[in-house]
Amino acid sequence: MANRLDAVYEIVESNQPTGIRFTYYTATTRGIVPKTDAGYVKIQRAILAMRRSGVMPWSWIVDTNRWMRKPTTWGSVEELLDDTASTYRRAMWRDSDVAVEVWCESESVAGVLYPVTAKWDVPLYPIKGQTSDSFVYGAAQTYRHDPRRLVIYYVGDHDPAGYEIETNLHAKLVQHSGREDIDFTRLACDSDDVDRLHLTGTVPKKNDYIDALTGQRMPWTGPAVEIEAISPPILRDWLDDWISDHVDPEALRLHKIAEDSERDILRRMAGAR
């Protein structure tokens, strides 16, 4: 038990922020627990025990499924301005010729990716499996008449169901936005990732899937691999590289100068009496 706790702690520490399912997959590849429901429960209990005892920081494990709803309020105008100054971010992509979005298959994956999308001021959409038309419609309206080139990166499972989810999402975005020019790319997980990272999977539940964009039934070969099989640092590094490719270094430098100047103005306003 002590050895298992030490091993799980090391996995979480090296990958945080991460999720329980990501930790479980890494633990199975290292032989710490079996790849079974019982193995998952052992990881879940080990993490909970270490968090409750204060050994593991709570912030290392992300949980974006629950949140508190309350209007934001302040004690005074000065407090508002001071708070605004400390959190102020200038919109990065407003004057860009490209708009970038990231969509992913689950909330747990979103928690792992958010540090990167937050860094680059990029929208992140977790769809929780087959997404609803209402959710996609609302997102698609934001760029229906946007003149910028639209780039979407998708992160999801490498299995027939995962590709049906992806192609359904792509087709719905095209339908509701009226834009057939969307540059839609699966960032992970794909067959190249499976081969390059030597990922282990399971026998897929189906041997084909329907591509919603073409209506064709596509054959499936190889294992089914969940996105959690890829370590969070690798996913974050990939996403960081792909997003940064769309950022002009000089424009970013000028953006930071303007942001710092505007933040300073807010601080001076907060200190004025």
Per-residue confidence (pLDDT) for residue 236, from 0 to 100? 97
116 and 241 share one domain: yes
Domain membership of residue 82 (yes or no) is: no
The enclosing H or E element of 109 equals helix 107-119
Tell me whether residue 65 is in a domain. Answer: no
Residues 50 and 100 in one domain: no
Rounded Cα distance between 103 and 216, Å, is 23
Q: Is residue 87 part of a domain?
A: no
pLDDT given for residue 85 in this prediction: 87
Does residue 73 fall inside a structural domain?
no
Q: What is the dihedral of CA 242, 87, 105, 189, to 10 degrees?
A: 30
Angle at 244 between CA 88 and CA 241, to 5 degrees: 125
Q: Residues 237, 133: one domain?
A: yes
Residues 132, 26, single domain; the answer is no
Q: If DSSP codes are grouped into helix, strand and coil, which group holds residue 121?
A: coil
Same domain (yes/no): 107, 239: yes
Return the CATH number at 234.
3.40.50
- Which pLDDT score, from 0 to 100, does residue 9 have? 94
**What is the number of structural domains in the chain?**
2
Check whether residue 225 and residue 169 sit in a common domain: yes
Q: In the prediction, which pLDDT does 71 show?
A: 86
154 Cβ partners below 8 Å, 6+ apart?
102, 103, 104, 166, 169, 170, 184, 185, 186, 187
Residues 154 and 242 in one domain: yes
d(CA 41, CA 20): 10
> Rounded CA gap, 242 and 247, in Å?
10
Among 60, 83, 104, where does a domain finish? 60
67 within domain boundaries: no
The CA-based angle 167-170-172, given to 5 degrees, is: 110
Domain membership of residue 141 (yes or no) is yes
Provide the domain limits for residue 40: 2-60
Tell whether 226 and 116 lie within a shared domain.
yes
Tokens standing for residue 164: 């049906």
Q: Is there a single domain that holds both residue 110 and residue 231?
A: yes
Q: Are residues 221 and 107 in the same domain?
A: yes
Question: Would you say residue 85 lies in a domain?
Answer: no
What tokens were used for 4? 């298992």
Confidence (pLDDT) at 233: 96
- 39 and 134 in a single domain? The answer is no
- Same domain for 132 and 221, yes or no, is yes
Do the domain assignments include residue 84? no
- Average pLDDT per consecutive 10 residues, the chain (273 residues; last block may be shorter): 88 92 90 91 93 93 75 88 89 94 92 95 88 88 92 96 94 94 96 94 92 94 93 96 96 94 88 63
Instruction: Return d(Cα 44, Cα 38) in angstroms, integer.
Output: 10
pTM of the model: 0.86
Q: Which pLDDT does position 33 carry in this prediction?
A: 92
φ and ψ at residue 11, rounded to 5 degrees: -65, -50
- Residue from 160, 235, 152, 221 nearest 193 by CA: 235
Those residues whose C-beta lies under 8 Å from the C-beta of residue 38, and which sit 6 or more positions away, are: none
* Residue that finishes a domain, picked among 60, 75, 105: 60
